[in-house]
Amino acid sequence: MMDCKKALVEVGGDIEKAIDLLREKGLAAAAKKAGRIASEGLIDSYIHGVGKIGVLIEVNCETDFVAKTDQFRTFVRDLAMQVAAAKPEYVSREEVSEEILNKERSILRAQALNEGKPEKIVDKMVEGRIEKYYKENCLLEQAFIKDPDVSVQDVVKDVIAKLGENIVVRRFVRYELGEGISE
């Protein structure tokens, strides 16, 4: 209550600005929590439809108290559904190896040159397309399936602010029936 009152006083009584200010403070608090160790959490599974797609995901938090809350469990389930629907290959861009990035850059560079783009803008195009690669293949960079206007990373930060603990998406595995079978 006092935080709400302080925010209203700080923005001169404008409720919308006060809401924005409180959200900003919550995200700043989330950033402070990022360095804390998250060794508790939850491993959850999600099976889509009639068993054609399955996901196992591990999401860590700081205490078992938070891990047992409905809000945390719902959040982990939402992330598992995200993995099932959006098919990310990595949790974050830091997991993408330099070898894979170099291969992608080489392919994208050749594509741009084959499209007849001038040499001087090809490198900028390639870097832009690498950013797109991250947004398609890294879970935290993807648009959230329940609200495409925000990224999964923004949702994680929001949950950190609400629950008051550091939260880390550690790993996931996605299975799709028949995947990898060749005739």
Q: What is the CATH number of the domain that holds 122?
A: 1.10.286.20
CB of 57 closer than 8 Å to CB of 79:
yes
Contacts of 22 (CB under 8 A, 6+ apart): 3, 4, 7
The reported pLDDT for the residue numbered 33 is 47
Record the tokens describing residue 95, joined without a space.
């997991």
Higher-pLDDT residue of 14 and 24 is 14
Q: Please give the average per-residue pLDDT across 33-49, as a whole number.
A: 79
Q: Is 30 helix (H, G, I), strand (E, B) or coil?
A: helix
Whole-number Cα distances in Å, 76 to 4, 57, 60, 152, 174: 29, 8, 10, 12, 14
For the chain, how many structural domains are there in total? 2
- pLDDT at position 84: 96
Residues 129 and 154 in one domain: no
**The pLDDT of residue 25:** 65
Is 105 found in the same domain as 159? no
Per residue in 151-172, pLDDT (tens digit) is: 999 999 999 999 999 999 999 9
130 in the same domain as 40: no
